[in-house]
Structure 1
Amino acid sequence: MTTTAPTVNGQVIGLAHYAGRAVLESVLALHGATFQQQITLNRVTGGPVERDALVEEVADALKVGTAEIQGVVDELIAKGSLAAQASQVRLTDTGKTFHAEVSAEVGEISARLYAGIPAEDLAVAGGVLAQVTERANAELAARRS
């Protein structure tokens, strides 16, 4: 029996997103962390960042309010994963260890999820999704103005 690949649309993209996110959240739950915390920590792996800029960037990426991400940053500071330095935050050793462990686990899972998919197909899908994201962000910005 042959199956026909579905045409890419919002539902197909959403189902793929939620399936992948559920896997990630199952890994994070084992570490006592949330999706929002992981996304926030990912933005700090390159070194200290301005707290306000971090909050804005993560809130924009997740399409949530800045107050929610302010709370996430506070949680990460309370957990000892982030440290505040004046107007900046940085990863602590605890945060670096957590990030490395989760990244390794997720890397193994991702390798299984993408195994056997030709690089050319992944490149095309990445390009399409980048365009859809750009257009959706523009649409959202237009609706907010």
Structure 2
Amino acid sequence: MTTATPPANGQVIALAHYSSRAVLETVLARTGTTFHQSVTLNAVVGKGGTVEHDWLIGRLTGALKIEESPAREIVDELAALKLLEESASGQVSLTDSGQELFDRIQPGVREVSARLYAGISAEDLATAGRVLTLVTERANAELGDA
């Protein structure tokens, strides 16, 4: 007996998110890194290793849907761990230790991603990407109107 595939909705999307995040957190736990810390490191690496402090705080509040104070705490934690360093000019840079940690995490992330997305066609992934991006844009617009 097979179960019909449910239509995409908030519950299906949330279950996929939380399930895949739980798997990711097992990878992160090996290095003592939290999910929020990994998002922060990814944001800095994605911009070449140095970003404006205010941009990073905005990225974290927007991506993680958290307030500014917890976002600042995450950046402060990573600075205290010597994974990021903040300059007097308002720049936040990845340290050598931060880059080493990022490089240690990535193979595990790639392995998990490969397993989770195995056998899903490029066309289906592209469609899912378009739909989820649109849902995210609409939800962000709703939040902006609040």
TM-score by length of 1: 0.95
Q: Secondary structure at the match of 2:44?
A: coil
Residue aligning to 2:138:
135
How big is each residue's C-alpha offset from its partner over 1:35-66, in whole Å with a ceiling of 9 and x where there is no partner? 11110111111121111211111111111001
Aligned positions of 1:13-32 closer than 5 A = 13-32=13-32
Q: Does structure 1 residue 110 correspond to structure 2 residue 127?
A: no
Q: Secondary structure at the match of 2:5?
A: coil
How big is each residue's C-alpha offset from its partner over 1:92-123, in whole Å with a ceiling of 9 and x where there is no partner? 11111111111111101100110111110111
Between the aligned partners of 1:99 and 1:47, the Cα distance in structure 2 is 11
**Amino acid across the alignment from 1:32:** G
Give the deviation of 1:142 after TM superposition: 0.9
- For these two proteins, the number of residue pairs brought into alignment is 143
Between the aligned partners of 1:3 and 1:125, the Cα distance in structure 2 is 20
Q: Does structure 1 residue 54 correspond to structure 2 residue 56?
A: yes
Between the aligned partners of 1:132 and 1:56, the Cα distance in structure 2 is 20
Q: Secondary structure at the match of 1:4?
A: coil
Q: Sequence identity of aligned pairs in percent?
A: 55
Give the deviation of 1:5 after TM superposition: 1.5
How big is each residue's C-alpha offset from its partner over 1:15-53, in whole Å with a ceiling of 9 and x where there is no partner? 000001111111111211111111011111112111121
Q: Secondary structure at the match of 1:59?
A: helix
Residue aligning to 2:104:
101
Between the aligned partners of 1:58 and 1:141, the Cα distance in structure 2 is 16
Q: Secondary structure at the match of 1:139?
A: helix
**Amino acid across the alignment from 1:80:** K
Give the deviation of 1:140 after TM superposition: 1.0
Residue aligning to 2:38:
38
Unaligned stretches of 5+ residues in structure 1:
none
Residue aligning to 2:80:
78
TM-score by length of 2: 0.94
Residue aligning to 1:3:
3
Between the aligned partners of 1:51 and 1:133, the Cα distance in structure 2 is 24
Unaligned stretches of 5+ residues in structure 2:
none
Selected match of 2:67 from 51, 65, 80:
65
Between the aligned partners of 2:92 and 2:52, the Cα distance in structure 1 is 6
Give the deviation of 1:89 after TM superposition: 0.9
Residue aligning to 1:123:
126
